[in-house]
Structure 1
Amino acid sequence: MRKRMGTWAGPAGIVILAGVMLSACSGGGDGKEGAAAGQSDKPKGPSTVTVLMSKATNFPEDNLVIQEIRKRTGINVQVIAVDAPDYENKLNTMIASSSPPDIFRSASKAKIKELADNKAILPLDDLLAKNGKNIMDNKGKYLKGAGFIDGKNYAIPTAYVLGNGLAFRQDWLDKLGLKVPTTLDEYDNVLRAFANRDPDGNGKKDTIPLGLMIAADQTFDHLFAAYGVPMKTGVLVDGKVVPWMLAPGYLDAVKHLNMMYNEGLIEPDFATVPNMQEFEKLWNGKMGAFQFNPPGTTQNWLTRYIENPKPTFVYTVIKGPTGIGGNTRFVREDKGPWTHISSKAKDPDAAMKVLDFLNSEEGDRLTWAGVEGQQYTMKDGKFEWIKPFDDAVQLRNVGGFAYNGISQRLDGMEFQLMNEQTRKGIEMSVNSPIPDAYIFGVPEIERDKKKVLDDLEVEFRTTAIVSKGGNLDKMYDDFKKKYLAEGGTAWIEQATAIYKKEQADFKK
């Protein structure tokens, strides 16, 4: 699955960096100064465009794919690829030294605002209109998101979603004579059967009915959604935007999880288990249900499952007491990381041409799978690897799947080559949103208090779930008072103001 870019420096680093940006960045932020400089400074011959990107694995700096990108765009594209953990420091260093890359990414909504306010990135509207046809055709309707500031677009969102599907072991359901659950009562009964009726047939009571990890909030999403609570997203209550943990239904969901924990229906070590260890329990045939990205569960992990025959899965939506169920809404407009063009780019037009090529069908196929006829063939619409490029290492050596992390096409080759079940899992999760009051802006209080507030919720949720006989209502009341005092009240006021402004702006 795709690797995400690292985040920017913390608040102290941002303050220092902001001053550097103001002194280092020429141009007024409307794109004209950068473009004008490009006209006067543009060298003869192909323009050079520098790109900073993160990498998950190594590949040769000079390779077939980068050569083809240069050939097909007519632009001397120079990529600086750094290990993902080093990306943030490398970018900050380049900006501080007044030599930022022409194209780079950010991974936080707050950082986009910092960059725009300090005129470190260009508004992209004119550049997109001139040289961004593929981007506009593919992502145009998603541009009014986190990068849409004061009526201008400063960022191209990834807008890429892998879905978040709740999958049950279909073979276990069949063995126990159970139907696919769609209500909370059916859901509980299936998990009890997975816990008590030896679905793996080893004669032991050692299965984990439902996998959960505090380290991966998405594994909880379906249960909170069944109670009308969109995780990590605000909801509208009496005209105000309140955070998800103060939404009606939150405590009911926690009480349900408490019951499940005490009955042995969920991962007993959910609060501490690392992601990889939890994945391994699924791969090793000990887990009956799990919510995660379908490209993992029923696509990329197919070779990881040790059972023979391989397990089979079915995706489902669980509806709660009021008939609501599904997932927290996927907001493609706000799906990062986000791609920017530096205000110091010597040739912004060329930079946009590079991004547009990467978002084209041709560019998507090239960066994902290499060159047709050399790394793969398409016969009667069917994709086939040419050996040895069915091996990921060999493909990387020629630059395959190396550069699509710069900016990639939505629903491109990767999605098209997913198996039918995985595509259906993605579509089910994307098309099952529950109501919310989403905001694109960042409340000011989050700059200093986000971690404190998030940690308070995790502490309460964890403590309440494992409680045996505790007064959950009183625990929740105490948590709410502390949350509001620590900044929650300010968050509600600021989020509500942002929501009202955004709703008015987007209607214009």
Structure 2
Amino acid sequence: MNRNKKTIQLSVISVAALSVLLAGCSSDTTKTTPAASGTPAAATATASVPEVKYPTSFTYWVPMNANAGAVMKNYNEMAAYKEIEKKTGTKVDFQHPPTGQEKDQFNIMLASNSLPDVVEYNFASGLEQSASQSPDSLIKGKQILRLNELIEKNAPNLTKVLKDHPDFRKLITTDEGNIYVMPFLLGDEQLSVVNGPVFRQDWLDKLGLKVPTTVPEWETVLTAFRDKDPNGNGKKDEIPFFMNLTGDFDQNNLLVGAWGISTDYYNDKGKVKYGPIQPEYKEFVATLARWYKDGLIDKDYASIKDSKLKDAKITGNQVGAFSGYAGSGLGRYLTLMQPTQPSFSLVGAPYPKLKEGAPASLGQYTMPFTGYGAAVSAKAKNPEEIIKWLDYKYGQEGSMLMNFGIEGTSYKMENGYPKYTDLILNNPDKLPIAQAMAKYFQASWNGPFVQDKRYIEQYYTIPAQRDAQKTWTNADHTKQMPGISLTAEESSKTASIMNDVKTYRDEMFNKFVMGAEPIENFDKYVQTMKSMGVEDAIKVRQAALDRFNSRK
């Protein structure tokens, strides 16, 4: 996934607007509250329940999730946060940047050193970020706090999570040994796989075909989609495979993973490699070029940037195969089509192997921690109490609030399982499930808490969604690059290199696939990549991976 950082740009107007946004100061007065029952701290108490000092108030900057923004103006309106305020006595002043301006506002805050008490953001969203924006640099620059000692002394719930999952601690700690956020963590492997290939099950059934499991079987099925009129309109208007470079290949390794590589950097048993210069990439691109020439791929794929066009083609009964999320893709299309075309059905297909008996293909996988969480400003007057408040959400009581909301309202316990009520799953106001969830809790996006797999088990209300996720899980995730971090020097050295390399990669991908560049020129393409400095960028990431592997 391309996540390049842009150069910070300041304007007098933006800074002035931000000063209004950040108006108000933090409070250093605190309120003493009994520790929440069910948290590890409370569970280990013996003679008496320990008291926890929570802050009376503090400021909290966080981008507004789109589903939340559809049903509220401020996170203070969310039922979970209302309940947390009751439990802790803390009034949180949530500050949300305008939609679409989150990155700009974040950069302005850093450049002007005008951070509120807490900033929730993805602090590691791009390796080629400005050197001054790396978590270690922000700590050295006294903009955010190193949290290691604060967590150890004031966050028993998160401390227990990290003790139970040493891999989590390794992921949230920088090369310099700093923990910089109260992290958003995926609490189960099931939450890491949410995207994959999808086929029209009704088309397969009509043509007497099975779900393909290898690249040759894909070609056979796509050819049948092209030639045998599965949509039944008497026209040869089917699009066998709707594809796009970023979503299909960068994000989930579709098809390219059959060759054991990715379209970006990958970790081959401790050795960093860049997929687009590997010999296997030539075979991958040659296969797509043949499919494109034979009409198995949407001829307009390179010009389609708007998701609405994809929606129109899929709901217009034209597309036989595509890739997408189990929720916003497979599930949404099934829901959209059910009223007008009940026979419309989709199935999650396995990531295809190169051939029968070949090793498993690479698939989509999200690491348990990707850099998202809540940092505490170095200017906060009461960091210990703020950490205690944030830690509440990692305990039993807070975790239930963030993942399920209010017992008896948004969920009910059935045989020890928190089951969402019809207020969520069949909302009386006809709200989509994700928006109904957002009114009560935060599990459907992210935040400083541990996401519970029981959320996604119910978010996928359609059996085809749950089956797809299980199918996609059976892929190879061992080559996934972990959350490495670059030093300021490394970032500066490779930022322009990778901008040029990725631009050239995308340009040549389209030329190869569309036949504008003969595949015989692949070696020349690789040499051009090397002349751009891609080998230097590989060495930098190798050093970063070595540092990651040596983290304690």
More deviation, 368-377/208-217: 368-377
Equivalent pair of 1:240/1:492 in contact (CA under 8 Å)? no
Residue of structure 2 in register with 1:278 after alignment: 310
Equivalent pair of 2:244/2:302 in contact (CA under 8 Å)? yes
C-alpha distance in structure 1 between counterparts of 2:358 and 2:450, whole Å: 35
The offset of 1:273, in angstroms, is 0.6
C-alpha distance in structure 2 between counterparts of 1:64 and 1:314, whole Å: 34
Residues 83, 354 of structure 1: alpha-carbon distance in 2 compared, 3 angstrom cutoff? farther
Equivalent pair of 1:169/1:314 in contact (CA under 8 Å)? no
Q: Which amino acid aligns with 2:335?
A: T
Identity over aligned pairs, percent: 24
Question: Are 1:302 and 2:334 counterparts?
Answer: yes
The offset of 1:331, in angstroms, is 4.7
The offset of 1:240, in angstroms, is 5.5
Tell me the SS of whatever aligns to 1:291: strand
The offset of 1:302, in angstroms, is 3.1
Residues 331, 280 of structure 1: alpha-carbon distance in 2 compared, 3 angstrom cutoff? same
Residue of structure 2 in register with 1:22 after alignment: none
More deviation, 425-434/203-212: 425-434
The offset of 1:47, in angstroms, is 3.0
C-alpha distance in structure 1 between counterparts of 2:172 and 2:265, whole Å: 15
Match of 1:209 among 234, 240, 248: 240
Q: Which amino acid aligns with 1:493?
A: K
C-alpha distance in structure 1 between counterparts of 2:530 and 2:435, whole Å: 54
C-alpha distance in structure 1 between counterparts of 2:374 and 2:78, whole Å: 24
Question: Are 1:112 and 2:134 counterparts?
Answer: yes
Match of 1:121 among 144, 148, 173: 144
C-alpha distance in structure 1 between counterparts of 2:429 and 2:386, whole Å: 30
Query: Unpaired segments of 5 or more residues in structure 1?
Result: 15-37
Residue of structure 1 in register with 2:528 after alignment: 482
Q: Which amino acid aligns with 1:461?
A: F
Aligned residues: 474
C-alpha distance in structure 2 between counterparts of 1:461 and 1:84, whole Å: 33
Match of 2:468 among 412, 416, 425: 425
C-alpha distance in structure 1 between counterparts of 2:93 and 2:179, whole Å: 25
More deviation, 240-249/150-159: 150-159
Question: Are 1:316 and 2:350 counterparts?
Answer: yes
Residues 121-161 of structure 1, C-alpha deviations (whole Å, 9 max, x = no match): 22222333344454455574323236523123223554453
Residue of structure 1 in register with 2:29 after alignment: 43
Equivalent pair of 2:260/2:361 in contact (CA under 8 Å)? no
The offset of 1:404, in angstroms, is 5.6
The offset of 1:293, in angstroms, is 1.7
Residues 37-90 of structure 1, C-alpha deviations (whole Å, 9 max, x = no match): x9xx73144432322111222514352523222112332222112233222233
Residue of structure 1 in register with 2:6 after alignment: 10
Residue correspondence of structure 1 range 81-100 to structure 2 within 5 A? 81-100=96-115
The offset of 1:215, in angstroms, is 4.6
Question: Are 1:188 and 2:188 counterparts?
Answer: no
RMSD: 3.4
Residue of structure 1 in register with 2:77 after alignment: 63
Residue of structure 1 in register with 2:495 after alignment: 447
Residue correspondence of structure 1 range 304-383 to structure 2 within 5 A? 304-305=336-337, 306-321=340-355, 323-328=358-363, 330-360=365-395, 362-367=397-402, 370-377=405-412, 381=417, 382-383=419-420
C-alpha distance in structure 2 between counterparts of 1:280 and 1:162, whole Å: 26
C-alpha distance in structure 2 between counterparts of 1:396 and 1:164, whole Å: 21
Query: Unpaired segments of 5 or more residues in structure 2?
Result: 11-25, 32-54, 187-191
Q: Which amino acid aligns with 1:383?
A: Y
More deviation, 477-486/432-441: 432-441
Residues 206-230 of structure 1, C-alpha deviations (whole Å, 9 max, x = no match): 1111110135244772210001112
C-alpha distance in structure 1 between counterparts of 2:178 and 2:535, whole Å: 30
Residues 429-451 of structure 1, C-alpha deviations (whole Å, 9 max, x = no match): 34512553725123433323332
More deviation, 291-300/482-491: 291-300
C-alpha distance in structure 1 between counterparts of 2:501 and 2:216, whole Å: 33
Residue of structure 1 in register with 2:46 after alignment: none
The offset of 1:170, in angstroms, is 1.8
Residues 8, 354 of structure 1: alpha-carbon distance in 2 compared, 3 angstrom cutoff? farther
C-alpha distance in structure 1 between counterparts of 2:139 and 2:364, whole Å: 27
The offset of 1:98, in angstroms, is 4.0
Residue of structure 2 in register with 1:231 after alignment: 263
C-alpha distance in structure 2 between counterparts of 1:249 and 1:394, whole Å: 43
Residue of structure 2 in register with 1:416 after alignment: 457
Tell me the SS of whatever aligns to 2:97: strand
Equivalent pair of 1:234/1:438 in contact (CA under 8 Å)? yes
More deviation, 405-414/394-403: 394-403
Equivalent pair of 1:162/1:294 in contact (CA under 8 Å)? no
Tell me the SS of whatever aligns to 1:187: helix
Tell me the SS of whatever aligns to 1:229: coil
| TM-score normalised per structure 1 | 0.82
